[in-house]
Amino acid sequence: MAGGNRNRNKLGFSKNGFACGEASAGVREQMSSFLTTEVPRGAYTAMRTSRNRSAVFLLDFHKKRLVDSHRLLLAQDESSVSFSDPLTTTEEHFLELAVKSISASIYSLNEILEEEDEDREAMVTVVVTLSKPYAVHALASLLPDFREGGVGVEVRTGPRSRPKAKDSQWAITRKKWENIRLPGVEETILADEDGHLLEGATSNLFVFIDDVLCTAPEVILPGHLREVIINRICPMLDIPVRMEAPALESHSRWQGGFITNARRLLDFVSCVKLPEKEGIPEVKLQTTQRCRQIRDAVAALVEHSSDPIS
């Protein structure tokens, strides 16, 4: 859409709690370079704003994700900084700096917005570096326009090697799938060797099978909406949930599905392409009433589960 294209290169950047103005030309040209080349490797998370960019949806979840991912990555790299390092002082200081960086990146973005952008929300990506000097970087970008229709996804074999940690290195790893995507595909769904669909490269996956909402168990990176949908929205809507990854062999019983992430919130899946599966080129999915109910409940929850950012 015109609005989404017009706003794609409007980005606000911050470092260690201070606004740095617009991001570099390279990041404005290709946002993924923020994680792959612009900042050092680190733990990261991506969140969305609400209330005209004055609040963040599920902020506590993202703070915990940063801390947990940072610790997991530290355990694998003894040269990395830790919360006991003099540069990082305490976990409380670290989280305070992260929140200040979120706020500063939104401020940087607000400074370059035009009047017609004032009611648009933003996505904020925060990276806490592993290498010295310790730093917290944040990038704020306007979210794309709302999309009513479904999206195409494709299945590729190859689960994450470290699913519990949100590592900026993943932005480089997933490029191999992004570079070979079939036409009409917007997300890659990762499957194990037995054909169980685990998660998207940048999303969580949910599929209705025999009127039950199925999603992979805790062998994936759980996104900020996953727990909300499983533990709050589905009980409220009386929708049964099964913690079981959808299997390709059961595709004839799939009734509808969706993916969730910070950028798009919830997208219906209209087509699942299977480039590695002989004899089954693709599976078509309907947008069921249950899928729409979940999406509407998620949208309503954003306003009620956001924390102000000063």
Read off the pLDDT of residues 252-290 as tens digits, 9 standing for 90 and up: 999 999 999 999 999 999 999 999 887 778 999 999 999
Domain boundary among 142, 164, 191: 142
Same domain for 167 and 283, yes or no, is yes
Number of domains present in the structure of the chain:
2
The strand pair at 265-273 and 212-215 is best described as unpaired
Domain-embedded: residue 199: yes
Same domain for 157 and 296, yes or no, is yes
Round to whole Å and give the CA distance between 188 and 157: 10
Tell me the per-residue pLDDT of 18-67, one tens digit each, with 9 for 90 and over.
998 766 666 655 667 889 888 999 999 999 999 999 999 999 999 999 99
What integer pLDDT is reported at residue 161 of this predicted model? 76
Same domain for 164 and 118, yes or no, is no
Name the burial class of residue 251, with classes exposed (0-12), middle (13-18) and buried (19+) by CB atoms within 10 angstroms of its CB: buried
What integer pLDDT is reported at residue 2 of this predicted model? 40
Separation in Å, CA 1 to CA 6, 88, 145, 146: 9, 43, 7, 10
Same domain for 124 and 208, yes or no, is no
Tell me the per-residue pLDDT of 125-151, one tens digit each, with 9 for 90 and over.
999 998 877 799 999 999 988 888 899
Same domain for 70 and 156, yes or no, is no
Q: Which helix (H) or strand (E) holds 171?
A: helix 170-173
Same domain for 186 and 87, yes or no, is no
Residue 237 has pLDDT above 90, yes or no: yes
Token digits of residue 5: 């294209």
- C-alpha 102: how far from its chain's center? 16
Domain-embedded: residue 310: no
Tell me the per-residue pLDDT of 71-83, one tens digit each, with 9 for 90 and over.
888 887 655 555 5
The strand pair at 265-273 and 151-157 is best described as parallel
Round to whole Å and give the CA distance between 254 and 136: 42
Same domain for 210 and 256, yes or no, is yes
Domain boundary among 142, 167, 184: 142
Tell me the per-residue pLDDT of 168-178, one tens digit each, with 9 for 90 and over.
999 999 999 99
Q: pLDDT confidence of 5, banded at 50, 70, 90?
A: very low
- C-alpha 243: how far from its chain's center? 20
Name the burial class of residue 262, with classes exposed (0-12), middle (13-18) and buried (19+) by CB atoms within 10 angstroms of its CB: buried
Same domain for 134 and 161, yes or no, is no
- What are residue 191's phi and psi, to 5 degrees? -120, 155
Structural domain boundaries, residue 129: 2-142
Name the burial class of residue 259, with classes exposed (0-12), middle (13-18) and buried (19+) by CB atoms within 10 angstroms of its CB: buried
Same domain for 86 and 155, yes or no, is no
CATH assignment of the domain containing 200 = 3.20.10.10
Domain-embedded: residue 110: yes
Same domain for 183 and 251, yes or no, is yes
Residue 3 has pLDDT above 60, yes or no: no
Same domain for 89 and 110, yes or no, is yes
